[in-house]
A and B are shown apart, each in its own frame.
Chain A
Amino acid sequence: MAPILRSTPLVALLVLQISLLFFASTLPISSGSEDSNTITGRVRIPASTAIGHAAKFSNIKVVLNGGQNISFLRPDGYFTFHKVPAGTHLIEVYALGFFFSPVRVDVSARHHGKVQATLTETRRSLTELVLEPLRADQYYELREPFNVMAILKSPMGLMVGFMVVVVFLMPKLMENIDPEEMKRTQEELRNQGVPSLSSLLPASP
């Protein structure tokens, strides 16, 4: 259960929010006449990539409306979709190692292609079309470090443990029993006869 929930959305969100504080809200990221608006945005990936493969902009794709258009990132992280009609659109960013929330983008027909963007996963509206990953994805399980408890917990560890108990603790227990009482119990058992297996089980129908 534990490895599944290993994600750090909080950290990513924090980074996002801090970065947003410093950004002036210069929203109009669109230009053009009717039916040929342009959506320009930017993808930013936190510089501190703790995970193994460093994020390369050349492997990131930005997808409009589930595959209608695919755009690539410039060295500065900007992307552009041209000839977008007014309406509500969906932008998704695919980068190996990161999870981005899809973005709902409303291109206004009245206000000369004014763009409004909302993250659909967190329902947070963006003042600027700067997309940052919600979390960094770790595709591999991490090997648990060497752990004595883990070995003891494994079936074989349990077997060894049981043996140890039997070997070293049982004689101790036997010693504590009064020899006379022992003899009496043994005699009682002999009088009763060997208890058969069927007598131990409840009467079967």
Chain B
Amino acid sequence: MAIRVSLLLLVFLSSAVVSFSLYEDQVGLMDWHQRYIGKVKHAVFHTQKAGRKRVIVSTEENVVASLDLRHGEIFWRHVLGTNDAIDGVDIALGKYVITLSSQGSTLRAWNLPDGQMVWETSLHSAQSSKSLLSVPINLKVDKDYPILVFGGGYLHAVSAIDGEVLWKKDFTAEGFEVQRVLQPPESSIIYVLGFLHSSEAVVYQIDSKTGEVVAQKSMVFPGGFSGAISSVSSDKVVVLDSTRSILVTIGFLDGDINFQKTPISDLVENSGNAEILSPLLSNMLAVKVNKRTIFVRVGGEGKLEVVDSLSDETAMSDSLPVADDQVAFASAHHEGSKIQLMVKLVDDLDTVLLRESIEMDQHRGHVDKVFINNYIKTDRSNGFRALIVMEDHSLLLLQQGAIVWSREEGLASVTDVTTAELPVEKDGVSVAKVEHTLVDWLKGHMLKLKGSLLLASPEDVAAIQEMRMKSSGRSKLTRDHNGFRKLFIALTRAGKLFALHTGDGRIVWSMLLNSPTKSEACERPSGINLYQWQVPHHHAMDENPSVLVVGRCGSDSSAPGVLSFVDVYTGKEISSSDIGHSVVRVMPLPFTDSTEQRLHLIADTEGHIHLYPKTSEALSIFQREFQNVYWYTVEGDDGIIRGQGMKSSCAGETADEYCFTTKELWTVVFPSESEKIISTLTRKPNEVVHTQAKVSTDQDLLYKYVSRNLLFVATVSPKGAGEIGSVTPEESALVVYLIDTITGRILHRLSHQGCQGPVHAVFSENWVVYHYFNLRAHKHEVTVVEIYDQSRAENKNVWKLVLGKHNLTAPISSYSRPEMFTKSQSYFFAQSVKTIAVTSTAKGITSKQLLIGTIGDQILALDKRFVDPRRTLNPSQAEKEEGIIPLTDSLPIIPQSYITHSLKVEGLRGIVTAPAKLESTTHVFAYGVDLFYTRLAPSKTYDSLTDDFSYALLLITIVALVAAIYITWVVSEKKELSEKWR
């Protein structure tokens, strides 16, 4: 009954085009937005002579940002393009932030206070090479001190004022790799040291005004050098030879080159291969050898001596000049649950300027990077602040023995997301306090009424806003009746799990993945995917739900996998295991055992399938369904899709009874000269479809083809696989297929001539919507394909149904030839797209909305009725009543239906939707560099009252009605009395 009512309501509501829309004062009521920058690569402090102390950082997410050093807030940031990785960042002239990106070919200057780009220079580059940015330190505005950039085989001198290239020097012919650029102050000669073919050291002396080579010296080193170099002073560098066992000191000042060899075995006993660490220390270098970090002092004549050694878990900063010509550096390492931060003088390692030990959450891992900065305390001594990057990518500022602020930058690189329920509110645990008396409640609602009638004063508006933000315990840690409170579990690239509360976005718990064996080869596994392992709802109610994290020891796909089971309520790891085989693919099966643990199959590189959990019960469940388990593999490079089925237990090869072999059932081979697979997609396995039938306007019945075994494949001509602009319309064609994954039958094929990728698609119920680029019109296009089942089309006759002569109860087999037909339609769309998702609700009754993540990092909610193939130019009256929108050539972009309203989810990568318990509502979580969450009601909240429902108006109405009844009663009494007197 309830469903019928809601259906009626739905029909009623769908008669008007509902779009997501928000009043400005509703921002933050249902949504939250978190801004991140990613794992910091470089940091430059800007504290001298600055009112606002800030630190400029560049990150692995290609973000350049200015952070407030006091609170860690973002002053400004810019997310560069995905292939525009930042190589170096520095501050020039005290007012510009200089970034070098795209392998040393793009140099940009940003205004330090507000982040406005000042100039941009494209530098010539001929080959890929390492890049180097050298910014003069002095603040003098002078063309004599240009910014020197090496990259792509060219050395450029660029004016810091306007980005003009003053001169460039071509080193491509010689194959010269610049290692070090030295600009001695008060001199117009630049020293450029580099290696030629890794065996010859060359020093160029270049006039900084003209770029002319004044002098050139070179010297061959017979052993050859190996990459890393450490410059210890203005005229000396130290490099390893190609055997990595001899340290070579190269002195190059005054144009002369001299080598001085010191075998590492002279410094340390039993030395293995050495590695020069990156920190720049003056007159000293750090070398990693035998899992220890040794500090080697470079004497005046290039003599080397070991002065200290530390464990290799120590992170070090570059050296920093402090007062009186002294140079200091910081090091940080773990000691138990604390971090030891030390600042020492480089010249005298026994002088410890600062020693602090700070309590640190063990789920942050070890220290990865340290950046230090000094300040003058009130007693004129040196104080130090350290910016540290932890293993989980978080960024912390340490000062005076405490964490001043921290940023969870791991959340900028979310790789997978799943949802989890919160615990049920138990009796006796009184979470709901009696917050208001009746008077307060009424007052609140009177305020709201005033607000909704636009009679409220600014103070009232502020009061309303505050009341709403605090209201209704939306951040409570228990389940609510509507299912609005949930946890989003996010796995990050650093291998850390975060549980985020949907109410306010706070981190409920976080956990860094650990290796089960603690072996050296696999110190920290990298997480790949997240799966819901145990979701108790019928049986095993007293068990906590858990998620499965599939990880891998190393980046290679053949590396052994690691499984970790994490309790969702507490965030504790229940167990973890080294599974001893690789992980290619994880397939959750639609079966659960008696404790509601979901069965999972994991395919390895050797073509075996492993069943988890490894219990006999799971095995018996799986044996029952053994013949009905199918899957497919996509080999994108070869253009082959293979269907696989289970063959037998691999008892012959191993004794493992949970291991199975597979057989190939079918293959679909795409011609490699004309088609290249660029996108494949299936329906979400947990999607709910409410009804298979669809009533069309002429009272006709259509049956949706809702097979779960459909695979959407998009291919383009190999020439059109590149970017837009690389191909002409005649050369490129886009072909999409719908393939049954059980039989390999191609159910539908649709070809778009003159179109190319990238294809972004979404597959739900019986329809696919995909976005691609039409080269002829030079516009983006969106096409919808709906699939209907023909074999059930005859079941329209009532008599057949009454007499039981229908085939509705006939079992559906994938092996029977499906009779189906498709309807499709295409529309223009005015924006590039990064990702598309679709809303999902608990029972699938509510109409759907497409969530389109645009390249502008906004998310547009588009009603599915705009992409309905039944749209016609002039819909009949009946069709209009059904809600069919007149056909237009392009899809509307309605500003009010941006669910991100005036926010951006920078670097948007994915959108996840999850149903709430309330049928009308769906959770939407978008991740990229930023995180964004909101709750959507695609057909408005037809099954509950909205937050701004005016209870006061209701009360007033009731009071008015009661008063009216009373008045009429009195009046009629009087009238009756007077009538009787008459």
Contact B895 A88 (CB under 8 A): no
Contact A138 B779 (CB under 8 A): no
Contact B76 A156 (CB under 8 A): no
Contact A68 B902 (CB under 8 A): no
Contact A141 B119 (CB under 8 A): no
Distance (whole angstroms) from the CB of A6 to the closest CB of chain B:
8
Contacting residues of chain A (84-124) with chain B, CB-CB under 8 angstroms:
84-85, 87-90, 92, 94, 96-97, 99, 101-102, 104, 118, 120-121
The reply on B688 being an interface residue by CB < 8 A is no
Contact A88 B725 (CB under 8 A): yes
Known: A4-B896, A88-B725. A120 touches B778 (CB 8 A): yes
Contacting residues of chain B (706-762) with chain A, CB-CB under 8 angstroms:
723-726, 728, 758
Which residue among A58, A75, A144 has the maximum number of chain B CB atoms within 10 Å of its CB? A58
The reply on B843 being an interface residue by CB < 8 A is no
Known: A66-B723, A82-B122. A167 touches B968 (CB 8 A): yes
Q: Of B114, B119, B832, which one neighbours A67 at CB under 8 angstroms?
A: B832
Closest residue of B by beta carbon distance from A53: B902
Contact B78 A140 (CB under 8 A): no
> Chain B residues with Cβ under 8 A from A137's Cβ?
895, 898
The reply on A7 being an interface residue by CB < 8 A is yes
Stretch among B347-355, B382-390, B808-816, B952-960 lining the A interface: B952-960
Q: Of B76, B84, B830, B854, which one neighbours A58 at CB under 8 angstroms?
A: B76
Give the distance in Å from the alpha carbon of A118 to the alpha carbon of B778 in the complex. Answer: 10
The reply on A70 being an interface residue by CB < 8 A is yes
Contact B122 A121 (CB under 8 A): no
Contact A143 B961 (CB under 8 A): no
Contact B964 A163 (CB under 8 A): yes
Which residue among B723, B725, B898 has the maximum number of chain A CB atoms within 10 Å of its CB? B725
Closest residue of B by beta carbon distance from A79: B120
Size of the A side of the interface (Cβ < 8 Å), in residues, is 61
Known: A120-B779, A139-B902. A90 touches B725 (CB 8 A): yes
Contact A67 B82 (CB under 8 A): yes
Contact B120 A74 (CB under 8 A): yes
The reply on A19 being an interface residue by CB < 8 A is no
> Chain A residues with Cβ under 8 A from B968's Cβ?
167
Contact B895 A99 (CB under 8 A): yes
Closest residue of B by beta carbon distance from A154: B953
Contact A102 B17 (CB under 8 A): no
Contacting residues of chain B (22-65) with chain A, CB-CB under 8 angstroms:
22-25, 27
Distance (whole angstroms) from the CB of B895 to the closest CB of chain A:
4
The reply on A185 being an interface residue by CB < 8 A is no
Contact B902 A97 (CB under 8 A): yes
The reply on B773 being an interface residue by CB < 8 A is yes
> Chain A residues with Cβ under 8 A from B17's Cβ?
1, 4
Q: Of A56, A69, A73, A96, which one neighbours B902 at CB under 8 angstroms?
A: A96
Which residue among A4, A56, A85 has the maximum number of chain B CB atoms within 10 Å of its CB? A4
The reply on A202 being an interface residue by CB < 8 A is no
Contact with B along A44-81 (1 / 0, CB 8 A): 00000000010011100101011111111111000010
Q: Of B27, B120, B728, which one neighbours A80 at CB under 8 angstroms?
A: B120
Give the distance in Å from the alpha carbon of A92 to the alpha carbon of B829 in the complex. Answer: 13
Secondary structure class of chain A's binding surface, majority of residues: mixed
Give the distance in Å from the alpha carbon of A185 to the alpha carbon of B723 in the complex. Answer: 86
Contact B964 A164 (CB under 8 A): yes
The reply on A146 being an interface residue by CB < 8 A is yes
Contacting residues of chain B (111-156) with chain A, CB-CB under 8 angstroms:
114-120, 122
Give the distance in Å from the alpha carbon of A142 to the alpha carbon of B830 in the complex. Answer: 25
Contact A72 B855 (CB under 8 A): no
Contact B454 A92 (CB under 8 A): no
The reply on B856 being an interface residue by CB < 8 A is yes
> Chain A residues with Cβ under 8 A from B452's Cβ?
143
Known: A7-B895, A89-B725. A167 touches B964 (CB 8 A): yes
The reply on A83 being an interface residue by CB < 8 A is yes
Give the distance in Å from the alpha carbon of A70 to the alpha carbon of B961 in the complex. Answer: 63
Contacting residues of chain B (772-809) with chain A, CB-CB under 8 angstroms:
773, 775, 777-780
The reply on A193 being an interface residue by CB < 8 A is no
The reply on A145 being an interface residue by CB < 8 A is yes
> Chain B residues with Cβ under 8 A from A57's Cβ?
116
> Chain B residues with Cβ under 8 A from A142's Cβ?
23
Give the distance in Å from the alpha carbon of A105 to the alpha carbon of B84 in the complex. Answer: 22
The reply on B14 being an interface residue by CB < 8 A is no
Give the distance in Å from the alpha carbon of A160 to the alpha carbon of B116 in the complex. Answer: 58
Contact B830 A121 (CB under 8 A): yes
The reply on A159 being an interface residue by CB < 8 A is yes
Closest residue of B by beta carbon distance from A89: B725
Contact A139 B116 (CB under 8 A): no
> Chain A residues with Cβ under 8 A from B834's Cβ?
67
The reply on B407 being an interface residue by CB < 8 A is no
Q: Of B106, B455, B758, B896, which one neighbours A139 at CB under 8 angstroms?
A: B896
Known: A58-B115, A146-B453. A67 touches B957 (CB 8 A): no
Known: A58-B76, A145-B454, A160-B960. A80 touches B122 (CB 8 A): yes
Contact A72 B120 (CB under 8 A): yes
Contact A73 B117 (CB under 8 A): yes
Distance (whole angstroms) from the CB of A41 to the closest CB of chain B:
13
The reply on B80 being an interface residue by CB < 8 A is yes
Give the distance in Å from the alpha carbon of A173 to the alpha carbon of B902 in the complex. Answer: 57
Give the distance in Å from the alpha carbon of A99 to the alpha carbon of B830 in the complex. Answer: 10
The reply on B831 being an interface residue by CB < 8 A is yes
> Chain A residues with Cβ under 8 A from B902's Cβ?
53, 96-97, 139-140
Give the distance in Å from the alpha carbon of A118 to the alpha carbon of B779 in the complex. Answer: 11
Give the distance in Å from the alpha carbon of A139 to the alpha carbon of B895 in the complex. Answer: 5
Give the distance in Å from the alpha carbon of A188 to the alpha carbon of B90 in the complex. Answer: 101
Contact A167 B957 (CB under 8 A): no
Known: A72-B117, A88-B778, A164-B964. A94 touches B855 (CB 8 A): yes
Known: A70-B81, A139-B902. A90 touches B724 (CB 8 A): yes
Which residue among A7, A137, A138 has the maximum number of chain B CB atoms within 10 Å of its CB? A137
Which residue among B84, B454, B957 has the maximum number of chain A CB atoms within 10 Å of its CB? B957
Q: Of A61, A102, A138, A160, which one neighbours B830 at CB under 8 angstroms?
A: A102
Known: A83-B122, A146-B453. A72 touches B108 (CB 8 A): yes
Give the distance in Å from the alpha carbon of A171 to the alpha carbon of B960 in the complex. Answer: 19
Contact B778 A160 (CB under 8 A): no
Contact A66 B855 (CB under 8 A): yes
Known: A146-B455, A164-B964. A140 touches B893 (CB 8 A): no
Q: Of B21, B724, B961, which one neighbours A160 at CB under 8 angstroms?
A: B961
The reply on A195 being an interface residue by CB < 8 A is no
Give the distance in Å from the alpha carbon of A94 to the alpha carbon of B725 in the complex. Answer: 20
Closest residue of A by beta carbon distance from B893: A99
Contact B120 A71 (CB under 8 A): yes
> Chain A residues with Cβ under 8 A from B80's Cβ?
70
The reply on A3 being an interface residue by CB < 8 A is yes
Closest residue of B by beta carbon distance from A102: B830
> Chain A residues with Cβ under 8 A from B23's Cβ?
140-143
Q: Which 5 A-B pairs have the closest CB atoms?
A: A94-B856, A82-B122, A137-B895, A70-B81, A66-B832
Taking A65-B723, A140-B27, A141-B21 as known contacts, 6 extra A-B pairs with beta carbons closer than 8 A to each other, sorted by chain A number, are: A1-B17, A4-B19, A90-B725, A99-B895, A102-B780, A146-B455
B residues touching A (Cβ–Cβ < 8 Å)? 16-17, 19, 21-25, 27, 76, 78, 80-84, 106, 108, 114-120, 122, 452-455, 723-726, 728, 758, 773, 775, 777-780, 830-832, 834, 854-858, 890, 892-896, 898, 901-902, 904, 953-954, 956-957, 960-961, 964, 967-968, 975
A residues touching B (Cβ–Cβ < 8 Å)? 1, 3-4, 7, 38, 53, 56-58, 61, 63, 65-75, 80, 82-85, 87-90, 92, 94, 96-97, 99, 101-102, 104, 118, 120-121, 137-146, 151, 154, 156, 159-160, 163-164, 167, 171
Q: List 11 A-B contacts (CB under 8 A).
A: A58-B114, A74-B119, A75-B118, A82-B106, A90-B832, A94-B857, A121-B890, A138-B895, A139-B895, A139-B901, A143-B25
